[in-house]
Structure 1
């Protein structure tokens, strides 16, 4: 049973979100992406570099990212330039590209990791036959962002999902393309996700002369 706001017992009790950063997490800027890559390379963290690059390029939710199997990413001994997964939330397929940096880091990691096409690309620390947990992934993201001086309260796993989508939108203004890349069923969801407001709309309009 919950408490009523009028109950004496709740007087002086802090709100659940007191002192917490709520709302959408910030996307990373290109400079911050490279700072994290430099940090991971310097520390020799092959798995984390591959996971980070895949998260940026795939634009997947954390629950979909950690479930990716090796067979989704490779063909023979090569990393695919494009891959596709079935989203857990929507049940719909979504495609994504793998750029040269992601292909290189994934190849280095998978050669070290070994396994078969039916194995998860990023296994659990506890049970190698299972995939990494979303909680472990979230802890890693916290570690990465704090390593380059960012506040973990302002960034999270969704920051990585939003990063490339935000850059593409700012460069093109093409909401439909971003909707497809994120796998959203409604464009209204993409608008809210990117935080598109009247200032964005006016800036795009002002940049277009007829």
Structure 2
């Protein structure tokens, strides 16, 4: 039995188990273009209109899950037509961020809303168990897990941030423009974008090697 310096017996305590023991805690990697299209093809074939619209919006919007599930119909649609650009106030930073809706996303959103119905102030992705509420972030995460598994990826290695990072990772790879990716992600600090994208010295050298003067 362990004792303190004065000789008084110390109470028995169980060893503390690290919260992350056995968990995959590295940054979730973005999806590759071919993986995006594999998931999209699966959803188009199976025809779950809600899931296809959710997936397309996740890729285009680059929003955190908490902001994505709270999107309202009025934020995406005007006069019965899907917007080309939308703006939301981020819950984490309370700052606005804009995002684009590509043709693919506009089509899938309108197809889902034509089936779903609803008014402009209602959530695009409503909860099926809680009346008047939006899809939960937990359910969104479960859906992402199903999508990556169906194309042979590990559920533990990919998550909602994989979808958030997918498009900006590709933009950064093609342009090297950190400021642009910072704006698209809605980060208040450039350092956050550097960490989020996993930018390192190798990235910097690769960009430098591509420039000849």
C-alpha displacement of 1:76: 0.7
C-alpha displacement of 1:17: 2.1
C-alpha displacement of 1:127: 2.2
Q: Distance in 2 between matches of 1:53 and 1:35?
A: 13
Q: Distance in 2 between matches of 1:81 and 1:71?
A: 13
Equivalent residue of 1:152, what SS? coil
User: Partner of 1:66 in structure 2?
Assistant: 69
Equivalent residue of 1:83, what SS? strand
User: Partner of 2:182 in structure 1?
Assistant: 179
2:128 maps to 1:125: yes
Larger Rg: 2
User: Partner of 1:4 in structure 2?
Assistant: none
User: Partner of 1:3 in structure 2?
Assistant: none
- Note the aligned Cα RMSD (angstroms): 1.1
Q: Name structure 1 gaps, 5 residues minimum.
A: 1-6
TM-score (norm 1): 0.94
Q: Distance in 1 between matches of 2:191 and 2:119?
A: 40
User: Partner of 1:9 in structure 2?
Assistant: 14
TM-score (norm 2): 0.92
User: Partner of 1:86 in structure 2?
Assistant: 89
User: Partner of 2:160 in structure 1?
Assistant: 157
Q: Distance in 1 between matches of 2:35 and 2:146?
A: 14
User: Partner of 1:136 in structure 2?
Assistant: 139
User: Partner of 1:106 in structure 2?
Assistant: 109
C-alpha displacement of 1:41: 1.1
Q: Name structure 2 gaps, 5 residues minimum.
A: 1-11
The superposition leaves residues 38-79 of structure 1 with CA deviations (integer Å, 9 ceiling, x where unpaired) of 111111110000000000000000000000000000011110
2:52 maps to 1:49: yes
Q: When the two structures are aligned, how many residues end up with a matched partner?
A: 202
